[in-house]
Structure 1
Amino acid sequence: GTMELVISVLDANDNAPQFNQTVYKVQLPENAIEGTLLVRLNATDPDEGLNKEFSYSIVSSVPAGNRDLFRIDPKTGEIRLTGLLDFEVVHLHELQIEARDKGTPPLSGHCSVELEVLDMNDNAPEVWVTSLSVPVPEDAAVGTVVALLSVSDRDSGANGRVHCSVWPAAPFGLVSTFAGSYSLVLREALDRERVSEYEVEVRAEDGGSPSLRARRGVRVPVSDVNDNAPAFAQAVYTVLARENNAAGAELARLWARDPDEAGNGLVRYSGPFRVGLYSGEVSTARALEEADGPRQRLVIVVRDHGEPARSATATLSVSLVEGAEAALAATGSLSSSRAGLRLEEGGAATTTTNVWLVVAICAVSSLFLLAVVLYGASRWAPRAAVLSGPGPATLVCASEVGSWSYSQRQSRSLCVADGAGKSDLMVFSPNFPPPPGPAAKETQPEPPALLDT
């Protein structure tokens, strides 16, 4: 007879899960948000039943410690982000994935996931001052290195390429020494009297889109050198000095300006007369006399304390006056001159003072001339009949031993009226030449006639 045997082959867990790829390569930008899907893995197991069922898990990660950035679904094999990526920290992640079935004993298959992080322009450039040589002397040569700077950008590629510039563009510039290093150098000559300190800004901009910028401020003070000589506002000064004035009397006070600072701008005065070393006060060492001459010319020298010392000169013209002229000068020109000898910066105040000085002198002179004219007119009018009346004119010359200013010879005409027992005398400047010698003497009345009037 025959027999039909049905043999059922029971499945044994003799097949491990198999991935369709040994290595999965994935790229994600570093600004990917949390929950972003990296990859969906696919594995199969030809066994049946429980031997066919398996689950996915992350076994390890490289670098170690970054495993918490990823989460895998044990059933679907989906890997998602649970944190934020940073290209500048880790730009390549490698995950070891395992698929383990539920057979006895369980079998497993493996694959790896390589995640490449793509750089984004999320880092601005950084500028650091590594060396600074300040203050810079104002006579420093063009090309002098003022500071060394280091520039970097953590991004890569175009995002990490940095272009640097300096503002303001003058008088400093940047020179690239090697990758990431710059020198701040002097491009133009300095002048401390014009600008004593510079606020320089170094600007850095990367090549990303949009580009990111950074800036670093550098304060550069300029030190002074003695490159300016003292200067008077005018080259010549004129003052009036009274004859027989007291020794030590102040003639004038001069001012000179030096734009340098500290010792380079401290000036001292010197001259043939007594001159205040730091005040500029010019005074007489003794009383001035007529024998000293009517005019003195003093050369005043002013020197600063720089190295080397610089100097300037001014001429002080001193005119010797006496008597009424000195009084008149004291009223107008002398006081104005002494007040006007203070030199201010820029010379504008001195020019204004000199204008007022001229106006004051003209005003005083006009008033004096008007007073003389009025006085002469008042004295002349009542005596017109005497001048036109009969009687010879008598010419009288004043002696040199008189009280006339400067002891000069003066002539006056004395007219005597006939008839009345008493008459007034009037003295005035002659407007006709004196009569010739003998004839004049014959026509003159006797001296007693002068006494009778």
Structure 2
Amino acid sequence: MDAAGYYLRFSRWGTIYSNGSGMTKTIGYRDWRWQALWWHHFFLLWSTIDGQTRYSIPEELKQGSVVGNLAKDLGLGLSDIFDRKLRVASEAGEQYFSVDAGKGELVVNDRIDREALCGQSASCVLPLQVVIEKPLHLHRIEVEIKDINDNSPIFHTKELSLKISESAAVGTRFPLEARDLDVGVNSVRSYTLSKDDFFSLKLKDVSGGRKVPELVLSKSLDREKKPIHQLQLTALDGGNPVKSGTSQITINVLDNNDNFPVFEKNVYKVSVSENSVQGASILKLTAKDSDEGPNGEVEYSFGAHTPDSVSSVFDIDSLTGEIRLTGKLDFETNANYEIDICARDKGIPIMEGHCTVQIDVLDVNDNAPHIFLTSQPNSVPEDAPSGTVVALISARDLDSGDNGKVILQLPKGSPFTLKPSFSNNYALVTGGALDRENISEYSIEITATDSGSPPLSSKKIISVRITDVNDNPPIFSQPSYNVYLKENGVAGSILYSVSASDLDFGENAKISYSILDSKVQDVSVSSYVYINSDNGSIYSMHSFDYEKLKVFQIQVQAKDQGSPSLSSNATVHVFILDQNDNAPAVIYPSSAALGSLSHQRMPRSAKAGHLVTKVTAVDADSGHNAWISYKLAEATDASLFTVNLYTGEVRTKRSVSEQDDSSQRLLIEVKDDGEPVQSATVTVSILMEDGLHEPILDLRQKATEPSKKNGRITLYLILSLASVSVLSVLTFLILAVKCIRSSRSSGSCCMRRSDCDDYKNPNRNLQIQLNTDGPIKYVEVLGGDMLSQSQSFRSCMSPMSEYSDFTLIKPSSTTDFKEVISVLDASLPDSTWTFESQQVTLVFTQLKTQSAVPSTGTPRHYQQITAQSINLEFSYY
């Protein structure tokens, strides 16, 4: 039992006493000691203890109320109660129960107060001992005492007085509590408060499941209006019926600085440009306090929790409430500020009021847009179609509104365009044809401009590499090449090196050279030359003979290594240059016909300048190597005869006298103009006779006893010579007239193609070509059927000299005149004139010229010839 419960003492007389806190029975002190000793020995004598039985009853049962049938529950008969002396003893010492011997029932012997026995304990159980003798047995039973709502809630005091300052903040709480001796649902369950505008009641949960009432200030107090507030607090338990307890609460309102400063507005809004200067006034605040004296004096400050980002930019005057700008505003960092302003008076206690100032920063276009590469630019093949994506680009401007709207632009003429996607994101795509050979890498300048006023812009350069595609064939340095090769060269020597370039790159620009198969004199050209595939050098396979092959063509192909490969061709014209490898051959007078000597006759009456004979020689070479000169090497009488250096005419230097021998012997040397000089000799025996009048005629008759074949050829030559002579005279007359008209001041005729365009014929039946190769100058007139045995006529023209002649020479049967004409016409276009003729081929060779422009020895150099007179003298052989 606890202190609030009860204690039992045995008395000799068994007198029961009651105190004010509960039912307590007392017994004499000596009897208590004796009975305790007896119980001690009694328990030592027990041999068995039975199981436990439990009963449950409410408190405050009337005396005699039946708890339960104890005999039946213990398995005893009614007779056992007397015979075995059954009795009940309480461990607590108080006999609240007894046994009805007639019925064997356990009945209430005295009033039971649960609160006195167990206090606020949730469970209250009284243990009892049932003693049965003969044989001795001890049974333990428990009786649970249940609580009934027999106690009302009570407060510590019936009247409660509180003192609250009128400046107490709304929501201030004051704890209250009531007690109820009952437990469980019978304890205090709710509270009620009399109606009041300033106070309300809130319940607070505490440990043990209890609810403690709190008086809450719901409205600010004003002692001047109502100094005292009377409230009644009622506590209600959960019993049935409900019981309650009340307490009167008196609240005295203490006078204080009860008026706090009040701003005109709770929230002030103001806008400030971000470029405002430091020290600018932002806003002036005013808070009013209804108190007088120090209680009405107000000081302004920022709230206690104002961040540094605000205090470093703004400041407030504590006396005037004016907010000024002390730092630099940046819309992009902070677009708005929310500042808590506190106004405090000087009263006791200090009262304060608050307001909020919202400052919106107005954006100024002070940030240029920025360009970002979302992806690095890719290399683009030059054949990429229009619209190929190169890079992804985004633009950003920290400003807002129109100041943050960005437009991207590319330079005009750029082969790229910008394709917008979303939210200032763009794709850089190809917008036109690309050519790596023109531009292999683009530095694209992108300009970003915002819409602010004034607008700001920035630029970014993006490099885009163009990859090569094999779209360019190799290109030779020139479409055709002219190669001049001396005959009799060493086999394997280099003829020429062609060169081609390819505008592409890498493998697409690697070039290999080859010779296309063609025929030269019915033989593959590869048997004449071969080419180095790497560098384009052309080498000869063997030496060449000008007299057999004068010109031929080589088709060279240059092919790159791209995929697919591309190629181009160039023509190499190979001109075989003549070397002086043939000695002159005397064809008249023919020593073979008359033996080792050539016998000629002349009259003794011959005067000075009499034509005795004419030595004619030919040279298989050409050009200056075929320029033949005649010289009298030995003579019987050197004073009598002379030999023309160029024509080979043998004439008398003086009249023949009687003293001269009738038989004269002349050794004539024939030399060419080559290097080294080749020569031949012919011996002419002259017999002088009297009475010989027509020696030349007789000689001609002997010389012109041709065979049947020679007569036919002679007829053809005479007809050809006649037609060509007329044509040549007309041609040179026309040229002379044109030259005189175009260059009267200089007195010279410059042979140019443009001067004779009126005589041009695309049929190319007759061509006159000016050849300036070496010191021998000659004009070739080509015509007739090129496949026939055309004749070649060579004429030496010297307007300033008497040494000019016209010689018929049979051309080489191995010459491919179609090839010669095409090659010469392509290589010497400015020295070619075309006339309608299909008869013969004339070659005019000028032995001596006076040139207004000195000769350079190159075939393409124009020679200027003084056109005063042209004397043609024909000699036939």
TM-score normalized by the length of structure 1:
0.70
Task: Give the secondary-structure state (helix, strand or coil) at the position aligned to 2:421.
Answer: strand
Counterpart residue identity of residue 285, structure 1: M
Partner of 1:122: 366
Distance 1:146 1:32 in 2: 44
Aligned partner of residue 312 in structure 2, secondary structure: helix
Q: Is the 8 A contact 1:276 1:282 kept in 2?
A: yes
Indicate yes or no: 2:508 matched with 1:252: no
Deviation, structure 1 residue 316 = 2.7
Tell me if 1:232 matches 2:500.
Answer: no
Alpha-carbon offset, residue 163 of structure 1? 1.1
Going from structure 1 to structure 2, the CA distance change for 1:239 and 1:110 (only over 3 Å counts) comes to: closer
2:704 to 436, 445, 452: 436
Give the alignment partner of residue 59 of structure 1, picking from 292, 298, 303.
Answer: 303
Q: Give the alignment of 1:214-363 within 5 angstroms.
A: 214-271=458-515, 272=526, 273-288=529-544, 295-320=551-576, 323-324=579-580
C-alpha distance in structure 2 between counterparts of 1:155 and 1:112, whole Å? 27
Counterparts of 2:335 and 2:319, CA distance in 1: 28
Alignment match, 2:688: 418
Structure 1 CA distance for aligned equivalents of residues 399 and 582 of structure 2: 87
Distance in 1 of aligned mates of 2:475 and 2:532: 17
Deviation at 1:128, TM superposition (A): 1.2
Contact in 2 for aligned 1:12/1:51 (Cα 8 Å): no
Matched, 1:155 2:425: no
2:305 equivalent to 1:49: no
> Residue 139 of structure 1: CA displacement?
1.5
Query: Percent of aligned positions with the same letter in both sequences?
Result: 37
Aligned positions of 1:357-436 closer than 5 A: 384-385=651-652, 414=684, 416=686, 418=688, 435-436=703-704
Native 8 Å contact 1:60 1:95 kept in 2: no
- Alpha-carbon distance in structure 2 between the residues aligned to 1:279 and 1:322: 29
CA 1:153–1:169 in 2, change beyond 3 Å: closer, same or farther?
Answer: farther
Quick one: which of 260, 267, 283 aligns to 1:39? 283
Give runs of aligned pairs for residues 105-144 of structure 1, distance below 5 A: 105-144=349-388
Q: Which has the higher contact order (CA 8 A, sep 6+)?
A: 1
For residues 701 and 553 of structure 2, what CA distance do their matches in structure 1 show? 41
SS of 1:131's partner is coil
Mapping 1:6-25, distance limit 5 Å: 13-25=257-269
In structure 2, give the amino acid aligned to 1:304: D
Quote the offset at 1:203 in angstroms: 0.2
Q: Structure 1 residues 235, 212: closer, same or farther in 2, change over 3 A?
A: closer
In the aligned structure 2, how far is the partner of 1:432 from the partner of 1:154? 116
Shift of 1:228: 1.0
> Residue 156 of structure 1 aligns to which amino acid in structure 2?
S
Residue range with higher mean Cα deviation, 11-20 or 215-224: 11-20
Deviation at 1:298, TM superposition (A): 2.5
Q: Compute the RMSD of aligned alpha carbons.
A: 4.1
1:207, 1:377 → 2: CA distance? 101
C-alpha separation in 2, matches of 1:374 and 1:119: 112
Kindly indicate whether the alpha-carbon contact (under 8 Å) linking 1:87 and 1:117 is maintained by their aligned counterparts in 2: yes
Query: How do residues 166-181 of structure 1 correspond to structure 2 at under 5 angstroms?
Result: 166-181=410-425
Which residue does 2:331 correspond to in 1? 87
The 2-side partners of 1:139 and 1:373 are apart by 73
Indicate how the Cα distance of structure 1 residues 411 and 300 shifts in structure 2: closer, same or farther if over 3 A, else same. Answer: farther
Conservation of the 8 A alpha-carbon contact between 1:27 and 1:115? yes
State the secondary structure of the residue aligned to 1:225: coil
How far apart in 2 are the matches of 1:326 and 1:102?
A: 139
Contact 2:629–2:645 under 8 Å retained in 1? no
Greater Cα radius of gyration, structure 1 or 2: 2
CA distance in 2, matches of 1:220, 1:388: 98
C-alpha separation between the residues in 1 aligned to 2:373 and 2:582?
Answer: 70
Q: Structure 1 pair 113/313, CA: closer, same or farther in 2 (3 Å)? A: same
Residue equivalent to 2:440: 196
Distance 1:24 1:315 in 2: 94
* Alpha carbons 1:386, 1:417 under 8 Å: kept: no
CA contact (8 A) 1:268 1:304 kept: yes
Is 1:182 aligned to residue 426 of structure 2?
yes
Rate the CA distance shift 1:104–1:187 in 2: closer, same or farther, 3 A: same
Change (3 A) 1:380 1:47: closer
Distance 1:326 1:157, change over 3 A: farther
The code of the aligned residue for 1:158 comes to: D
Stretches of structure 2 that go unaligned for 5 or more consecutive residues are: 1-254, 516-525, 584-621, 633-642, 666-679, 690-698, 707-877
1:308 Cα deviation after fit = 1.9
**Secondary structure of the structure 2 residue equivalent to 1:214:** strand
CA distance in 1, matches of 2:533, 2:626: 42
Classify 1:267/1:253 alpha carbon distance in 2 versus 1 (closer, same or farther; 3 Å): same
Distance 2:649 2:544 in 1: 45
2:789 aligned residue: none
CA–CA distance in structure 2, aligned partners of residues 433 and 246 of structure 1: 49
Partner of 1:3: none
Work out the CA distance in 2 between the residues paired with 1:191 and 1:197.
10
Q: Which amino acid aligns with 1:199?
A: S
Contact 2:551/2:575 (<8 A) preserved: yes
Q: CA deviation at 1:232?
A: 2.2
SS of residue paired to 1:178: coil
Residue aligning to 2:51? none
Separation in 2, partners of 1:434, 1:93:
137
1:230–1:302 contact (8 Å) kept in structure 2? yes
CA shift, 1:66, in A, is 2.3
Deviation at 1:52, TM superposition (A): 1.5
Figure out how many residues of one structure are paired with residues of the other and give that number: 369
1:61-76 equivalence runs, <5 A: 65-76=309-320
User: How big is the shift at 1:170?
Assistant: 1.5
CA displacement 1:243-266 (0-9 Å, x = unmatched): 553321222222222222232222
Distance 1:388 1:233 in 2: 68
Would the alpha carbon gap of residues 186 and 382 (structure 1) be closer, same or farther in structure 2, given more than 3 Å must change?
Answer: closer
Distance 2:294 2:468 in 1: 92
Q: 1:290 to 1:50 in 2, by over 3 A?
A: closer
TM-score (norm 2): 0.38
Work out the CA distance in 2 between the residues paired with 1:432 and 1:393. 21
1:12 CA drift (Å) = 5.3
Residue 546 of structure 2 contacts residue 577 of structure 2 at CA under 8 Å; is this kept in 1? no
